[in-house]
C-alpha cells in the first residue's frame, strides 16, 4: 500500500537487487542521484540586450556507495573480480535500489542501468575494537531510472 499523498517515507528499510538476487542487509546507501549537464545559450534579444538561457543537456553517469555488514557472502568480491579482470559482459549489470514502507512493501525503485563495481572497501581492522565490520561497494552506473 503506498503512503498517503502528503506523508514521507522513512529511510530505514531498503535493499539492493542485482540479477534477481535481493540483498536486504544493506546498512547505508549514499550518492544516489540523477544529474544532467547544463547548456548555456548566450544570445542577443530582439532589443539588443545580452541574455543567457540555460537548457538541459546530456544526462550524467553516476556513482553510488552501498554499505553492508561483513558476512561470508562473497558476491561483492566476485563482482569486483569480474570487472577487474575485464570480464565486462559479466560485470555490467542492471539492478535496483528498493525502498520499502513499514510493512515491507516496495514503494520506490531506483534502477541502475549498466552498473559495475568501481571499488570495494573493508572497514578498519583494529585490535580491541568492538564495532561491526563493514564493506563498502562503490558502484558506477550509466543512468538511473525511477519507478
pLDDT digits (tens, 9 = 90+) for 14-36: 888 987 778 868 889 999 999 99
Which range marks the domain in which residue 84 is found?
26-39+60-95+110-146
Kindly state whether residue 47 falls inside one of the protein's structural domains.
no
Q: Please, which pLDDT band fits residue 136 given cuts at 50, 70 and 90?
A: very high
pLDDT in tens, 92-124: 999 999 998 888 888 899 999 999 999 999 999
Kindly state whether residue 105 falls inside one of the protein's structural domains.
no
Decide if pLDDT at 84 tops 60.
yes
Kindly state whether residue 48 falls inside one of the protein's structural domains.
no
Q: Chain-centre distance of CA 106, in angstroms?
A: 16
Kindly state whether residue 124 falls inside one of the protein's structural domains.
yes
Cell numbers for 77, please give them. 568480491
Kindly state whether residue 19 falls inside one of the protein's structural domains.
no
Alpha helices in the chain (DSSP H): 75-84, 88-91
Count of structural domains within the chain: 1
Q: Are 68 and 27 within 8 A, CB to CB? A: yes
Amino acid at each position: 500500500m503506498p503512503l498517503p499523498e502528503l506523508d514521507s517515507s522513512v529511510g530505514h528499510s531498503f535493499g539492493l537487487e542485482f540479477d534477481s538476487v535481493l540483498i536486504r542487509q544493506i546498512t547505508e546507501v549514499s550518492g544516489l542521484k540523477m544529474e544532467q549537464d547544463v547548456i548555456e545559450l548566450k544570445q542577443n534579444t530582439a532589443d539588443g540586450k545580452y541574455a543567457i538561457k540555460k537548457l538541459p543537456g546530456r544526462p550524467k553517469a553516476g556513482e553510488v556507495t552501498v554499505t553492508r555488514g561483513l558476512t561470508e557472502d562473497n558476491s561483492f568480491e566476485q563482482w569486483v573480480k569480474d570487472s577487474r579482470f575485464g570480464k565486462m559482459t559479466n560485470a555490467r549489470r542492471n539492478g535496483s535500489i528498493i525502498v520499502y514502507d513499514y510493512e515491507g512493501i516496495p514503494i520506490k525503485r531506483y534502477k541502475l542501468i549498466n552498473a559495475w563495481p568501481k571499488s570495494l572497501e573493508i572497514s578498519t581492522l583494529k585490535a580491541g575494537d568492538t564495532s561491526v565490520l563493514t564493506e563498502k561497494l562503490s558502484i558506477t552506473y550509466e543512468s538511473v531510472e525511477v519507478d
